[in-house]
Amino acid sequence: MAKSNSKNAPLAPMTNMESTEFAAEQIRRAIISGRFKPGDRLIEQQLTDMLDVSRHPVREALRLLAREGFVELRRNKGALVSDVDAASVIEVYNIRMALGKIALDYLLAEEGRLSATDLKKLEKLATNAVRFADLENQTETVQNDLEFQQAIIEATELQRTIRYFSELTGDVRRFNNLLKVKYTDRKGDAERYVMKLYEALRDRNLAEAQVIWQAKFSKAAERYLSLIAHTRSDGAEQQS
């Protein structure tokens, strides 16, 4: 059998992409959790030792994370963990808000696009939101809310919308961890922004769903911005 011409081959041979993705995921998790803090230098040699991979995948991973906004690449300083500032909060929430509107438009444009299975899942998550609001620990509330948002996006089966929205969830988790957000009106949030949104979707009320979605994300952004500016916010404060 004749050897194929690599220049014309439709698929490329395996590279070190797997190592790059592994390194990026590990560093990303450490940044989101706060183990690597804003301003920390990310030294390639130290990272290669910690991850047990070669230097090239680490360098590529840092470039990837820079494109995602988790890392800054500075001349003569190398890679630094990005700060959480007002501009990043506004950018992330404006994008997530826009993607959500795309999802709602698509789901309610035609009857049947939001399947009975997806609607049942949203109902369960909305019910959980109200129930979890009574728990002392807010961890379940935060996780359930992110799952509720993601379930709406995934119901569309629009792969680009799903991918972009999912990637920004890491930023939201990082905002929560670094700003140490304590939500003080979880019951009200669950009823206004989760249960009401589920009901609007169930009733195929696009206008109402859009209004609630925008209010939900605008309020979330406002709370983060207030903590960054050290001002009072309705429904959230910084944990002591």
List Cα–Cα distances, 122 to 84, 125, 201, 219, in angstroms. 31, 5, 9, 21
Q: With helix as H, strand as E and coil as C, how does the chain read?
A: CCCCCHHHCCCCCCCCHHHHHHHHHHHHHHHHHCCCCCCCEECHHHHHHHHCCCHHHHHHHHHHHHHHCCEEEECCCEEEECCCCHHHHHHHHHHHHHHHHHHHHHHHHCCCCCCHHHHHHHHHHHHHHHHHCCCCCCHHHHHHHHHHHHHHHHHCCCHHHHHHHHHHHHHHHHHHHHHCEEECCHHHHHHHHHHHHHHHHHCCCHHHHHHHHHHHHHHHHHHHHHHHCCCCECCEEECC
Asked if residue 34 lies in contact with residue 177, where contact means CB atoms within 8 angstroms, the answer is yes
- Ranking 36-45, 69-78, 180-189 by mean pLDDT, the lowest is 69-78
- Which residues belong to CATH 1.20.120.530 in the chain? 86-238
Class of domain 86-238: mainly alpha
Total residue count of the chain as it appears in this document: 240
Q: What is the pLDDT of residue 149?
A: 98
Predicted confidence (pLDDT) at residue 8 exceeds the cutoff of 70? no
Residue 11's pLDDT band, with cuts at 50, 70 and 90, is low
Q: What is the mean pLDDT of the chain?
A: 92
Predicted confidence (pLDDT) at residue 1 exceeds the cutoff of 90? no
Predicted confidence (pLDDT) at residue 2 exceeds the cutoff of 50? no
The CATH classification number of 16-81 equals 1.10.10.10
Q: What is the pLDDT of residue 240?
A: 75
- Which residues belong to CATH 1.10.10.10 in the chain? 16-81
First to last CA, the chain: 70
Dist CA 189 CA 12 (whole Å): 49
**The model's pTM:** 0.88
Please compute the mean of the pLDDT values over residues 82-104 and round it to a whole number: 97
